[in-house]
Amino acid sequence: MTNAVIVDAVRLASGKGKPGGALSGTHPVELLAHVLRALVSRNDLDPAQVDDVIGGCVSQVGEQALNVSRTALLSAGFPDSVPATTIDRQCGSSQQAAHFGAQGVIAGAYDIVIACGVESMSRIPMGVAGLDKDTNGPGIRARYPEGLVGQGISAELIAAKWKLDRETLDAYSAQSHQRATAAATSGAFDKEILPIDVTNAAGETVSHTVDETVRAATTPGGLAGLKSSFYTDDYAARFPQAGWHITPGNSSPLTDGASGVLIMSEESANKLGLTPRARFHSFAVAGDDPLFMLTAPIPATRKVLAKASLTIDALDVYEVNEAFAPVPLAWAQEFNADPAKLNPMGGAIALGHALGSSGTRLLTTLVHQLEATGGRYGLQTMCEGAGMANATIIERL
């Protein structure tokens, strides 16, 4: 069987997803174009050799509309002959892009492919694509007569079901910031972060190289003072089990970002004199209860471990996206996972969650973490809107 390998993986440092954020003055096409340009230049690769660019983006409207991946590759100077597509599997969009790219290599459809993602949440606010529209239709209303809920309420339901109290959620969230701060201070992110020139509030051109969403001074005590984000009287009456523990402090922040991985067959890498850094070992995708919405990483992980013929103990690192603190904590309970291996460099609560970029962002961090520690196997899994999740196992080479 053909091995699909990762030759390079890079990301931009996060920017706060609001006006005035470090990346908010840069068009999303240019954020992604910068990543694409770097992936070929860093590896002395002729971009004409890229068979396809598969990008993830959730809010495909406005400046991110009309196949932002194709627009970005043209902006990056790729030849007209290189195609691209943009996909939406919600928060896992670019993780799915990596799946499609690697699976295409394994099937023999591609020799070289770039999987990537972008999201500018400062310029294209979350939810704007369905603003004032019925995105469900009568069939969904008939199937779920009490109505589905937003992700924040789903996070509350998960916290209640897995008996995760406010103190536990806040302690985990503070740890995410502490771990990210330690990683940044030690230089652990230096190899994965791609510098980008941006214009700051003073109109000066500066190089953006540090995750803007990390708050080094975060403590559980500081987070304890934040109010519930999603409590309403109606929801409290419908869900009396909820503790109303979800706050901005134990949720991922709105974020701008872009990231990408260069994937090719092992044979192509060898021919080009490039060193494969990791291979794709196993893939899975799963659905789960859309009311709980964020629990699908659990069945997705079970599926991918079974396909890989591995146990959780065989994994050296797990990157479980921190959309909200209950997501990785419930996952860890289900697998009796080692907390030291769970998001060891911090997760999205600290590093941000630029929706369409997050899949390849986590994959980039996972590759670099395995290299830094000498670990062999790494797992990535991501909760996704409407109750889905991707899971990926890679093996360091």
- Of 349, 167, 329, 320, residue with least CA distance to 245: 167
| Residues 83, 95: Cα–Cα separation, whole Å | 19
Q: Rounded to whole angstroms, what are the CA distances from 58 to 16, 28, 35, 69, 235?
A: 17, 12, 18, 12, 27
Are 327 and 321 contacting, i.e. CB atoms less than 8 angstroms apart?
A: yes
116 is catalytic: no
Residue among 116, 177, 245, 383 flagged as catalytic: 383
27 is catalytic: no
Q: Rounded to whole angstroms, what are the CA distances from 85 to 65, 122, 214, 306?
A: 12, 23, 32, 30
Dihedral of alpha carbons 60, 66, 70, 73, sign: negative
Tokens at 247, concatenated: 């706050």
Helices 326-335, 151-161: axis angle to 10 degrees equals 40
Residue among 34, 177, 353, 368 flagged as catalytic: 353
Residue among 91, 99, 177, 208 flagged as catalytic: 91
Give 338's DSSP letter.
-
91 is catalytic: yes
Active site positions, annotated: 91, 353, 383
